[in-house]
Amino acid sequence: MSLPLTGIRVLDVTNVLAGPFCSYQLVLMGAEVIKIEQPGSGDLARRLGADRATAARLMGASFIAVNAGKQSVTLNLKMPAAKNIFKQLVTQSQVVIENFRPGVMERLGLDYAALSKINPRIVYCAVSGFGQHGPLSSRPAYDQVIQGMSGVMSVTGDKDSAPLRVGYPVCDTVGGITAAFTICAALVDACSTSRGRMIDVSMLESTLATMGWVVSNYLNAGTVPLPLGNENFTAAPSGTFRTADGLLNIAANESYQYEKLCDLLERPDLKTDLRFADRDIRKQNRDAINVEIQAVLLTRGAAEWEKLLIEAGVPAGRVLSVPEILDHPHLAERQFITQFPNVDPPQTLTGGGYRISDGDAVPPGPAPTLSQHTDTWLRKLGYSNIQIEDLRANGVI
């Protein structure tokens, strides 16, 4: 059955992660995404990833991660003939996504002002580090730079290790999700009004927006956020604990959960101890309650404690590695992983994190080889084989 974005065509003029992650979300929801790449080199991510051999062949693991199901068309957008082809594609599309520095698409004559004249319904989304205007807008943006400037690093780690980088490109990813959401909202409006719009996504602001409680505690209560490591700043005991054979997260955030935890640990005295009498007092005596709980947790393994805690109604979960969670039977039953074993290199991909009732939100095919669909689209636009070869010979495609 058709997915929600079936019939939507997206021109994806983005590289590396934030923009491609955005368009990958649209692919999973049924959109047709045409990835516009530079002839010869393509997306930088094609040359990135742990497998050096596939990266050398422009099919790096980093590229595969967020480009499955897309079509690759190579255009040198600095050349007039390529710009004309791009504009032809715009007339047949609903969305354009780009993540150049502000001003690049305007200099190319392919910004929203220009493209909306030939397709008033176009939804144009520009993803950048700091937005299209403002004192920082012209700066280059990398995930780690945004992590540092947004305050994310300042609250990651503990008092000894902070500031610390989050272990994956969280700001790129958040920027991509934000862009996908706003594009979908704009498409809903375009369907009823026949009017497109320009969307300006800032990775810095997108990241700050996801830090809601941390930011709000400062804006509305004047509390400067501090790094608490694996502790939960809203409750105690709530954090990461050692067991006999591994780490375990426990989130006894509610009073009834705390009481059940005390009973399970056979420490009913902790329920009446004045140092731990209510939620706020427990937070003030976080170190003391953690010492009491930790001593008991060391008597059994993480898996055993996890089972007992869940059965008792106390939220808990082992701290797993990436391989461990990807091998978990829960994800297998949820069909979170999609495989394309019959391509070179074979591709294994993650889903979007959701299921929908009337279709499979999975990529319709593997990540494309560079320029795999260029000739196909030029023929659809009416170019003859001779014209296509001439464009290739002149470096347009």
Residues 280 and 161 in one domain: no
Residue-level pLDDT at 100: 95
Does residue 268 lie in a domain region? Answer: yes
Q: What's the number of CA atoms in the CB half-sphere (13 Å) around residue 323?
A: 0
CA nearest neighbour of 54 among 263, 252, 337, 343: 343
CA distance 270 to 8: 59
Residue-level pLDDT at 233: 81
Q: How many other β-carbons are positioned within 10 Å of the β-carbon of residue 323?
A: 8
Residue-level pLDDT at 231: 86
Residues 88 and 134 in one domain: yes
Which domain-ending residue is among 319, 348, 381?
Answer: 319
Residues marked as catalytic? 172
Question: What does pLDDT average to over the chain?
Answer: 95
Does residue 325 lie in a domain region? Answer: no
For residue 200, the enclosing domain spans 9-210+333-393
Q: What's the number of CA atoms in the CB half-sphere (13 Å) around residue 301?
A: 3
Mean pLDDT, range 239-251, rounded to an integer: 95
CATH number of the CATH domain containing 313: 3.30.1540.10
Residues 366 and 292 in one domain: no
Residue-level pLDDT at 291: 94
CA distance 112 to 106: 8
Which domain-ending residue is among 319, 352, 368?
Answer: 319
Residue-level pLDDT at 26: 98
DSSP string of 20-58? HHHHHHHHHTT-EEEEEE-TTT--GGGG-SS-HHHHHTT
pLDDT over 90, % of the chain: 90
Does residue 27 lie in a domain region? Answer: yes
Q: Which of the listed ranges 177-191, 254-268, 277-291 does the model predict with the highest average pLDDT?
A: 177-191
CATH number of the CATH domain containing 105: 3.40.50.10540
Does residue 328 lie in a domain region? Answer: no
Contact 178, 206 (CB under 8 A): yes
Q: How many helices (H) and strands (E) does the chain have?
A: 19, 11
199 by DSSP, 3-state: which? strand
Rounded to 10°, the helix 143-150/170-193 angle is 90
Residue-level pLDDT at 13: 98
Residues 186 and 243 in one domain: no
Residue-level pLDDT at 2: 85
Does residue 219 lie in a domain region? Answer: no
Residues 108-129: tens digit of each pLDDT: 999 999 999 999 999 999 999 9
Residues 186 and 259 in one domain: no
Given a cut of 80, is residue 359 above it in pLDDT? no
Mean pLDDT, range 198-207, rounded to an integer: 98
Residue-level pLDDT at 1: 67
Band of the pLDDT at 306, cuts 50, 70, 90?
very high
Band of the pLDDT at 135, cuts 50, 70, 90?
very high
Mean pLDDT, range 188-204, rounded to an integer: 96
Does residue 228 lie in a domain region? Answer: no
Mean pLDDT, range 322-351, rounded to an integer: 95
Residues 211-233: tens digit of each pLDDT: 999 999 999 999 999 998 888 88
Number of domains in the chain: 2
Please state which of the ranges 58-62, 165-169, 231-235 shows the lowest mean pLDDT.
231-235
Which domain-ending residue is among 319, 343, 361?
Answer: 319
Mean pLDDT, range 266-270, rounded to an integer: 92
The answer for 15, left when phi > 0, alpha when psi is -120 to 50, beta otherwise, is beta
Q: What's the number of CA atoms in the CB half-sphere (13 Å) around residue 290?
A: 20
Residues 65-84: tens digit of each pLDDT: 999 999 999 999 999 999 99
CA distance 376 to 356: 31
Model's pTM, two decimal places?
Answer: 0.93
Mean pLDDT, range 243-253, rounded to an integer: 94
Residues 88-110: tens digit of each pLDDT: 999 999 999 999 999 999 999 99
